[in-house]
């Protein structure tokens, strides 16, 4: 009986995801099932539905309900200078090579509400590189992108953000980069000046320019193996030769189809470099 109940639940989830894709064009069908199930059941309980099947009709006919569910299914866990050791590694192992370029393009894929994008902008400012950088920050969820563009965050998070910044090798006072208003902080306009926020769906959309660096941290863990390979291929094709790819602490290229296309810059911080293709004429010489 329990097995049949589980099979029914899984079938209902597949029908719900199919309805979302057919109605709205968002494709969650290759996301990790455990994550999806947990988030869908969370919304089911909040809305007091008897079954997940009841949610299918609601998704089709109720845009407001779908917007709430979309927010549940989006990946929004983030913070300023998350994993400080990662930013230390960027300063020490990546920045020296980025300095050699006259102009830089960096893509922050799956930027969520923007905290990590602004963290990278601050780091680049402190390293004297920001004036020659164009930072592209993308996500598929328009509501989350709007929040990222605003750069307004709760004051009660600042203590953690400041601690992260200091541990990451920050060179100034973190307070230099925001202004306080009531119970919120607002990222200074000077930090936003070279960031372009744009709608991009890693599942459905194509190559995103020729980037010197792609940052996509703690997103792939929510995808199944096929989708992970699809996205890594997208990043590979979006990077210039010798470009950097930065993943999250629980992610790795090691078990993907494209591991051999990269070299490890920092194994612990999951920073990789796209291998440079040597022309055949140079090999033969």
Determine the 3-state secondary structure of 235 from DSSP.
helix
The per-residue pLDDT for range 163-193, each reduced to its tens digit, is 999 999 999 999 999 999 889 999 999 999 9
64 and 142 share a domain? no
Q: What is the pLDDT of residues 206-248, one digit of tens each?
A: 898 899 999 999 999 999 999 999 999 999 999 999 999 999 9
Name the residue range of residue 30's domain.
Answer: 2-73
**Percentage, residues of the chain above pLDDT 70:** 95
279 belongs to a structural domain = no
Residues 6+ apart with CB under 8 A from 28: 17, 20, 21, 36, 73, 203
Question: Residue 78 domain-assigned?
Answer: no
Compute φ and ψ for 48, nearest 5 degrees.
65, 40
Secondary structure class of 188 (helix, strand, coil) = coil
Residue 158, domain member (yes or no): yes
Give the C-alpha separation, 127 to 114, whole Å: 20
Q: What share of the chain is helix, strand, coil (3-state, %, to 5)?
A: 50, 20, 30
Cβ atoms < 10 Å from Cβ of 282 = 7
Q: Are residues 117 and 215 in the same domain?
A: yes
Would residue 8 count as lying in a domain? yes
Report the domain count for the chain: 2
- Which of 52, 73, 94 is the C-terminal boundary of a domain? 73
Based on the domain organization, do 56 and 124 belong to the same domain? Answer: no
Indicate whether 116 and 226 sit together in one domain.
yes
Examine the domain organization and report whether 44 and 171 are in the same domain: no
pLDDT one-digit tens code per residue, 58-104: 999 999 999 999 999 988 879 999 999 999 999 999 999 999 999 99
- Given a cut of 80, whether residue 161 has pLDDT beyond it is yes
Both 90 and 115 in one domain: the answer is yes
State the Cα–Cα distance between residues 221 and 217, nearest whole angstrom: 9
CATH number, domain of 203, equals 3.40.50.150
> Residues 8-30: what's their mean pLDDT?
94
Cβ-Cβ contacts under 8 Å for 31 (sequence gap 6 or more): 73, 222, 223, 224, 227
118 shares its domain with 207: yes
Sequence-distant (6+) residues with CB within 8 A of 271 are: 86, 89, 90, 93, 94, 244, 245, 246, 247, 264, 265
Q: How confident is the model at residue 277 (pLDDT cuts 50, 70, 90)?
A: low
Is there a domain that residue 37 lies in?
A: yes
Q: Is residue 41 part of a domain?
A: yes
Indicate the burial class of 189 (C-beta count within 10 angstroms; 0-12, 13-18, 19 or more).
exposed
Q: Considering 73, 95, 117, which residue would you say is the last residue of a domain?
A: 73
Residue 281 covered by a domain: no
Of the residues 39, 73, 107, the one at which a domain ends: 73
State mean pLDDT over 25-43.
93
Sorted by sequence, the CB contacts under 8 Å of residue 139 that are 6+ apart come out as: 74, 110, 111, 112, 145, 148, 199, 200
- Do 118 and 248 have their domain in common? yes
Residue 1: both structure tokens together: 């009986």
Do 114 and 50 sit in the same domain of this protein?
no
Do 191 and 110 sit in the same domain of this protein? yes
How far, CA to CA in Å, does 143 sit from each of 38, 61, 253, 263, 278? Answer: 21, 20, 30, 36, 44
């Amino acid at each position: 009986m329990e097995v049949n109940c589980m099979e029914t639940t899984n079938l209902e989830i597949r029908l719900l995801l199919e309805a979302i894709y057919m109605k709205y064009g968002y494709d969650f069908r290759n996301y990790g099932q455990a994550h999806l199930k947990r988030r869908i059941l969370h919304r089911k309980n909040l809305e007091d539905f008897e079954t997940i099947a009841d949610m299918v009709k609601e998704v089709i006919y109720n845009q407001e309900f779908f917007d709430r569910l979309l927010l549940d299914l989006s990946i929004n866990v983030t913070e300023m200078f998350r994993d400080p050791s990662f930013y230390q590694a960027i300063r020490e192992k990546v920045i020296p090579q980025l300095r050699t370029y006259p102009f830089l393009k960096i893509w922050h894929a799956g930027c969520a509400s923007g905290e990590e994008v602004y963290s990278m902008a601050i780091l680049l400012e402190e390293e004297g590189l920001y004036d020659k950088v164009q930072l592209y920050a993308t996500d598929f969820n328009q509501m989350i992108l709007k929040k990222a563009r605003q750069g307004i965050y709760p004051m009660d998070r600042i203590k953690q953000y400041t601690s992260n910044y200091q541990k990451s090798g920050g060179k100034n006072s973190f307070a230099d980069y925001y202004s306080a208003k009531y119970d919120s902080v607002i990222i200074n306009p000077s930090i936003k000046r070279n960031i372009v926020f744009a709608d991009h769906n890693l599942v459905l959309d194509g190559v995103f320019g020729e980037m010197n660096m792609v940052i996509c941290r703690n997103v792939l863990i929510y995808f199944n193996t096929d989708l992970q390979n699809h996205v890594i291929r997208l990043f590979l094709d979006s990077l210039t030769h010798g470009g950097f790819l930065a993943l999250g602490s629980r992610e790795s290229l090691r078990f993907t189809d494209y591991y051999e296309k990269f070299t490890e810059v920092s194994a612990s911080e999951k920073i990789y470099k796209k291998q440079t293709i040597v022309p055949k004429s140079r090999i033969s010489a």
